[in-house]
Structure 1
Amino acid sequence: MKRILTFIFAISLFSSCTTEEIVQVQENFFAGQSFERTTDLIAPNYEATFEIPLNIDLLESDMVLVYHLVGVDNDGFDIWRLMPDTVYTNDGQEFQYNFEHNFDFVTVFIEAPSTFDFNSLLDGDLFDQTFRTVILPVDFVNSSNLDITNYNDVMEYVQ
């Protein structure tokens, strides 16, 4: 009986709400998930694969974002960039840190044109690279004004 009353209450709540209020209710129950890994991206593939932790529920409709730690500001706060992240070398070449994922793994890699000279990569481009994977329900992202390129805004919604 309690379940029936709860169900009726929930339906009456949502049917009496405006769309904006429903989004607010959904946002209050929203929880993104994230994990972080530090790795080296070395030859020959210049890539690393991370297993998505078992405690993270990844749905087919979820949005998977990967941010690259690119430094620390003067106040000691991390600086993160959404991938793909294009980097320009001192000799005028460019490459990208990029990623792909499935339900079990996230692979980060360096992607470059066929003419790119991988010998021009510096140790700082390859070693001790930190990546944070963030998983957001796509319904929430589509229903809010969330700027996914702004790392700090995204992290406000991640537990």
Structure 2
Amino acid sequence: MKKFLPLLLLLVGSLFIFSCKDDDDVYVQVDVDYPAVYDLRNVNFSYNNDLGWHYGQNFNNPMLDQDYVVIFRQTGTSGNAPVWQQIPRTLYLDQGELDYDFDFSKNDFMIYAGGTYDLSTTPQYLNNQTFRVVLVPAVYGKNATLEDLKKLSYEEIIAKYNIDESKVGTL
């Protein structure tokens, strides 16, 4: 009986240990409409003294704070397929350097064009531009950073995050 009582206490104690629930991990399911791809067609940059040449757009729905935006500029076509170049990007032209860059928040993004010369002398780089905006939730990044995404081509991002290109939307 003396040996049975410690075994019984050990058995009952182990039931309590393994039946405890760890409430420290709280997961909140948030429905988001991305990863997604949006086209911006016929973009015309505006100019003001504070922002320089810029184009801004709001998202249809706010993103989560930790999510990413990657933007590509269409530089031409190959056959019938568009050729995408990720920005930020510097173009080296006869007139000087032209830079495309962007920033974003959970509610909107802004694309900038700047350079080492008067950009108004090359309106073909400021008017009727086409951009593709890719929204990527951080959870899909699996510890990736924006720096990791900057190394990927458009095709690599689409493949990595299983984005359905047949559902390209517009903003």
Match of 2:37 in 1: 34
Alignment of 1:85-100 (within 5 A): 85-91=89-95, 93-100=96-103
Which ranges of structure 1 fall in alignment gaps of 5 or more residues? Answer: 1-30
Question: 2:75 pairs with 35, 53, 70, which one?
Answer: 70
Counterpart of 1:137, as a letter, is P
Q: CA shift at 1:122, angstroms? A: 1.7
SS at match of 2:163: coil
Question: 1:47 pairs with 34, 51, 54, which one?
Answer: 54
Match of 2:113 in 1: 110
> C-alpha separation between the residues in 1 aligned to 2:119 and 2:135?
34
- After superposition, the Cα gap between the structure-2 partners of 1:103 and 1:147, relative to the gap in structure 1 and judged at 3 Å, is closer
Point out 4+ residue stretches in structure 1 off by more than 6 angstroms: 144-147
CA RMSD of aligned residues (A): 2.4
Match of 1:80 in 2: 84
Q: CA shift at 1:79, angstroms? A: 0.5
SS at match of 1:79: strand
* Aligned 8 A contact 2:70 2:149 in 1: no
SS at match of 2:141: helix
Counterpart of 2:83, as a letter, is I
Q: TM-score, normalised by structure 1?
A: 0.66
> C-alpha separation between the residues in 2 aligned to 1:49 and 1:61?
20
Q: CA shift at 1:147, angstroms? A: 7.7
- After superposition, the Cα gap between the structure-2 partners of 1:158 and 1:148, relative to the gap in structure 1 and judged at 3 Å, is farther
> Higher strand fraction: Structure 1 or Structure 2?
2
* Aligned 8 A contact 2:54 2:112 in 1: yes
> C-alpha separation between the residues in 1 aligned to 2:107 and 2:89?
23
- After superposition, the Cα gap between the structure-2 partners of 1:146 and 1:120, relative to the gap in structure 1 and judged at 3 Å, is closer
Q: How many pairs align?
A: 122
Give per-residue Cα distances to partners, 1:22-45, cap 9 Å, x unaligned.
xxxxxxxxx511212121114343
Which ranges of structure 2 fall in alignment gaps of 5 or more residues? Answer: 1-33, 165-171
Seq. identity, %: 17
Counterpart of 1:33, as a letter, is A
